[in-house]
A and B are shown apart, each in its own frame.
Chain A
Amino acid sequence: QKEVEQNSGPLSVPEGAIASLNCTYSDRGSQSFFWYRQYSGKSPELIMSIYSNGDKEDGRFTAQLNKASQYVSLLIRDSQPSDSATYLCAAGSYQLTFGKGTKLSVIP
């Protein structure tokens, strides 16, 4: 059974702080890793993808991948209230396995 584990939260951070979201995955054959953001009542939106070990930065977002530890993380710098959402981690190859999501609340 392929699994992706995330802390369900809620994770509360003050505006302007760094939010750190973590995820572990069970399938060592996974080649692709993604972070999606889902606002309440909306569908998920792809915000970051990462395929090799190390860091990948895109604006205020940094994804980190450690395949040896089967660990993926997402850092959000200068968190804004508009970042408040549920963040889904996904891992896999042809088919993705999604975590249940971490709810992030950014407090003004």
Chain B
Amino acid sequence: GAVVSQHPSRVICKSGTSVKIECRSLDFQATTMFWYRQFPKQSLMLMATSNEGSKATYEQGVEKDKFLINHASLTLSTLTVTSAHPEDSSFYICSARRDGAYNEQFFGPGTRLTVL
């Protein structure tokens, strides 16, 4: 149990285009999901907290108009990188917090974004 999928696993796009990444909890409900970014050889950086049915909460320094988050159901959150630029190239990872008392977070396999 506790499987999180992420799609696509890898995307290459041209500068200025928008990219949508989906995160799904496959076998549990997740009212809350989190979006992280990780640059090579660096630690996880939390970008935003996504709550089902409400607006996402963004960390300081993360542009909410550039990184659009939608959490439309208890099993799906999406991150859209709008007007992507080469500096947005990174490894984007979602995690889903399993509803219940234990605060466990399960990570998706990640999406490697390359913006040319």
Contacts and interface: CB of A to CB of B under 8 A. Distances in A.
Given A94-B32, A95-B49, A46 B104 contact: yes
A18 to B, nearest CB: 25
A93 interface: yes
B7 to A, nearest CB: 13
Interface in B44-63: 44, 46, 49
A50 to B, nearest CB: 10
B44 A88 contact: yes
Interface string A6-50: 000000000000000000000000011010100000111110010
Contacts of B2: 46
Contacts of B49: 95
- Counting contact residues on chain B (CB < 8 A from A), the size range is 10 to 19
B103 to A, nearest CB: 4
B108 to A, nearest CB: 6
B109 A42 contact: yes
A77 to B, nearest CB: 24
B102 A100 contact: no
B44 A98 contact: yes
B40 to A, nearest CB: 9
Contacts of A45: 107
Interface of B: 2, 32, 34, 43-44, 46, 49, 93, 97, 102-110
26 contacts: A32-B102, A32-B103, A32-B104, A34-B104, A34-B105, A42-B110, A43-B107, A43-B109, A43-B110, A44-B93, A44-B107, A46-B2, A46-B105, A46-B106, A49-B102, A51-B102, A88-B43, A90-B105, A92-B103, A94-B32, A94-B103, A95-B49, A98-B43, A98-B44, A100-B43, A101-B43
Top 7 nearest A-B pairs (CB, nearest first) are A32-B103, A100-B43, A43-B110, A43-B107, A43-B93, A44-B107, A98-B44
